[in-house]
Amino acid sequence: MALGPRRPRSSIGVPFCRTRTDPLAASKLSGILMDELSHTPNGRGADEDATDRSYVGLAKQIHDLIAAGDVGPRARLPSERTLADRFGVSRTQVREAIIALEVQGVVEVRVGSGIYVADAPDARSAMFKLPRGLGPIETLRARVVIESGIAALAATERKDSDLDRLFAALRAMRENMHDKAANEAADRDFHLAIARATGNEMLRLVVTAMWDNSRADPLWKKIEEHFHTPELRAASQDEHQRIFAAIMARDASAARTAMQAHLTRVIGEFTQAWR
C-alpha cells in the first residue's frame, strides 16, 4: 500500500482514514447477529419452514411414487407449490428434494419449463441413495443472516489493508467473468476478506466452513450447472461493488443491506426453475 505524506491511501487510489481497531469489537457481534435473526428476508419468522432441515424424506417419497409407476418416464411433475401443498412441506424443502433427485438421475429439471421424470430405465429401479448433510438452500439462507451481520461489522472495523484485499478480489472477479472456476475462487476470496475485516477469527472460520462445505456438496454442483452463468456473475459483480463501497464508507447499515440483497438474489436465481 502506498502512503502519501499526510493521509494514507489504498492501492486503489482512494484516500481514507486509518482505522483504529476497537478492542471490544467482538462484543458487537452478538447484538448484530441477533438483530439479523429478527429481520430475516421476506419477514420470515424463526419457526417458519422448520422442516427445511430434512429434504431427504421428501425426496424418497417422490422417488417411491416414480418407482411404483404412478408417474411415468418423461412425465412432467406437478409444480413446486402443488408438491409443497400435497406433502405438507415448505417450497424450499421441495426444491432441495428435486435437486437431490436430479443428482441421482431420477428427474430432469428444465429451466423455465418444469420438472420431468427421467427417461433412463434404471432411474426408477436403481438403489436410491441421497447425499447427506445440509441442503444448499438452507446453507444460503444461513449465509444471508450471518454474512449480513458480518458485512455490517466489517464496515466499522475494517483497515486499509482489508480494502486492498477486497478490491483485489473484485478485480479478479471482473477479469475472470467467463472463467467459472477463477471467478468463483475470487468470489470466495471476497467473502472471506469481509469476514477477516471484522477482526473476529471465529467469523472467518464460520464463513470459510459455509463456503467450502456447500461447494463440496453434489446438490450445490447440480444447481450451479443450471444457473451459474456469465450473466449471473455480472449481476454478482455489481452487487459485490455495492458491498465494497458501503464497507469503504464505513456505512454498516448499507453494508448489511447490500449483502442481504446479494445473497437473497442468489437464492431467487437458484430456485427459479421450480416456480
Q: How far is CA 239 from CA 24, 41, 81, 268, in A?
A: 30, 17, 29, 14
Q: How far apart are CA 182 and CA 211, in angstroms?
A: 15
Q: How far apart are CA 258 and CA 237, in angstroms?
A: 12
pLDDT digits (tens, 9 = 90+) for 142-177: 999 999 999 999 999 999 999 999 999 999 999 998
Q: Which three cell numbers stand for residue 99?
A: 435437486
pTM over cut 0.75: no
By the 8 A CB rule, do 160 and 18 touch?
yes
> Which amino acid is residue 63, in one-letter code?
H
> Which amino acid is residue 238, in one-letter code?
D
By the 8 A CB rule, do 12 and 164 touch?
yes
Q: How far apart are CA 267 and CA 136, in angstroms?
A: 9
Nearest in space to 115 (alpha carbons), one of 100, 136, 133: 100
Q: Map out the domains of the chain with their CATH numbers.
A: 50-123 (1.10.10.10), 134-274 (1.20.120.530)
Residue 131's pLDDT band, with cuts at 50, 70 and 90, is low
pLDDT digits (tens, 9 = 90+) for 9-68: 443 333 333 434 444 444 444 444 444 434 444 444 433 444 334 677 888 888 888 877
Nearest in space to 236 (alpha carbons), one of 225, 244, 248, 247: 244
pLDDT digits (tens, 9 = 90+) for 88-117: 888 888 888 888 888 778 888 887 788 888
By the 8 A CB rule, do 249 and 151 touch?
no
Q: In this structure, what DSSP letter does residue 110 have?
A: E
